[in-house]
Amino acid sequence: MKKQTKIGIIICDRYRNCAGGKCFRALQNREGAFDIYKKEEELELVGYTTCGGCPGGNIEYAPEEMKKNGVEVIHLATGLVVGYPPCPYIDHFIKFIPEKFGVKVIIGTHPIPQKYLVTHQALGTWESNEWKEMIKPTLANHKIRLDYN
């Protein structure tokens, strides 16, 4: 029997109208932060919602609903790190969700599009060691970043 992992995705509220295409493609192709899962592993998306807007009010409730649907891992969407400015509350989400709900949190979904990488490099957004570590799961290679532009 294949291993199955149930996943939830929380996106930044400023992208609340996003249809999720890049996240779903990355999930299917095991790219970006989804490359940690084996190709033969079955992934089931059991929740997809926004943070609720700053300061992330939905973070208090959405993981509980996802947990009722069997979520094992919550991915904080790439938009939380590539948007400008990046989410100022992401550290709180990373600590709060596992503590309150006992669910693992991974930063990122789809690979960072090249155009966002170029912009944030020019702005110096991700120069700290903390940010370098946060974007690592979604950095991918140049070709894949271009595919997600």
* pLDDT computed for residue 2 by the predictor: 75
Q: Over the stretch 98-138, which tens digit does the pLDDT of each residue have? A: 999 999 999 999 999 999 999 999 999 999 999 999 999 99
pLDDT in tens, 55-108: 999 999 999 999 999 999 999 999 999 999 999 999 999 999 999 999 999 999
Q: How many domains in the chain?
A: 1
Find the helix or strand (DSSP H, E) in which 80 lies. helix 79-82
User: Taking 90 as the threshold, does the pLDDT of residue 3 lie above it?
Assistant: no
CATH number at 97 reads 3.40.50
The residue range of the domain holding 41 is 4-147
Cβ-based neighbours of 148, under 8 Å, separated by 6 or more:
22, 26, 32, 110, 111, 112, 113, 114, 140
Q: Please confirm whether the linkage preceding 137 is cis (ω < 30° from 0).
A: no
Average pLDDT over residues 39-55: 95
- Count helices and strands in the chain by DSSP H and E runs: 7, 4
- For the record, the structure tokens of 80 come out as 């939380």
